[in-house]
Amino acid sequence: MLSIQNIHKRFGDVHALNNVSLDLEPGLFGLLGPNGAGKSTLMRTLATLQKPDEGQIFFDGQDIVTHPDAIRSQLGYLPQDFGVYPRMSALALLDHIAILKGVINKGEREDQIMALLEKVNLITHRTASVATYSGGMRQRFGVAQALLGNPKILIVDEPTAGLDPFERQRFLDLLSEFGREKIILLSTHIVEDVRDLCPDMAIMGNGQIVVRGAPESLIDTIRGRVWRKSVDRDDLLTMKEGYKFLSSRHLKGGVQASVLADASPGTGFEQKEETLEDAYFAHLNGLV
């Protein structure tokens, strides 16, 4: 159990985390939010890279704010920007990271590294410099380094940004496989990643948890209330001011606008099937 209790974090006048509380158990947990919502600040705090100004974080009953070593040996972390030593091969770099994680026995390190390289499909590229890897390969390497030492908690921050569809699906399949026995906290702004993977999630905005629940339960909060209409771009501002506006999407030179309403909002609107993206915007913008 990872228990986050009323944590705050400020950077000057910016309240990056504002009374955030979450209890997490083994499984995949999705954290959705726009850029600047506080997701990365929360990830860095949980990874003990910075301390909260207020609040407590407990892992299996131990306070990791005052005793960060209680979680570090059980933690795998894949930050949004994953740096590497440019001249080191995957084998050498994973060996170095394993030693830093306390895997001292050479034979044990070799077994773990080869098994993980096989799992992330990098075994044939193990002697190549990680700096020569594609974006998808580097992300898969990042998963391998995060899983060294068999951690109980895995934190991944914006892991699929910039990946092509094939690499994205391969990466998500890896997370799904490991999520059966570990606490995996997936921070992203890509709604589809959470919808496809996570049985539990939260939406974060302005440093706060806006809402928490299963994706389907959040969709239920707007069931039968989503309406869409094709409009001219010039009419979009008027629509934003006159309706409970959810989002807009540019399609074939025009704009499809989505709004929230209990009944038809007017001529041209059609009731459409609700998506997690609709629920995301509804909760984030305080419409429900």
**For position 237, which CATH number holds?**
3.30.70
86 with 212, same domain: the answer is yes
210-222 b/e with 16+ CB inside 10 Å = b?
Answer: bbbbebeebbebb
163 with 62, same domain: the answer is yes
Report the pLDDT value the prediction gives residue 182, as an integer from 0 to 100: 92
139 with 26, same domain: the answer is yes
Report the pLDDT value the prediction gives residue 137, as an integer from 0 to 100: 86
Residue pair 259/222 in contact by the 8 Å Cβ criterion: no
137 with 232, same domain: the answer is no
Count of domains for the chain: 2
Domain housing 259: 222-284
Structure tokens at 281: 């915007």
92 with 175, same domain: the answer is yes
Q: What is the CATH number of the domain that holds 24?
A: 3.40.50.300
- Residues with Cβ < 8 Å from 25, sequence gap 6 or more? 1, 2, 183
199 with 272, same domain: the answer is no
Q: What are the backbone angles phi and psi of residue 12, rounded to the nearest 5°?
A: 65, -125
Report the pLDDT value the prediction gives residue 263, as an integer from 0 to 100: 95
Q: In degrees, to the nearest 5, what angle opens at C-alpha 181 toward C-alphas 68 and 152?
A: 15
pLDDT tens string for the chain (288 positions)?
899 999 999 999 999 999 999 999 999 999 999 988 999 999 999 999 999 999 999 998 899 999 998 888 889 998 877 776 778 999 999 999 899 888 889 999 999 999 999 988 899 999 999 888 887 888 888 888 988 988 999 999 888 776 788 878 888 888 888 888 899 999 988 898 899 889 999 999 999 999 999 999 999 999 999 999 998 877 888 888 889 999 998 877 778 999 999 999 999 999 999 999 999 999 999 999
10 with 139, same domain: the answer is yes
Report the pLDDT value the prediction gives residue 92, as an integer from 0 to 100: 93
147 with 37, same domain: the answer is yes
| Residue 177 vs residues 171, 181, 186, 259: alpha-carbon distances, Å | 10, 9, 14, 37
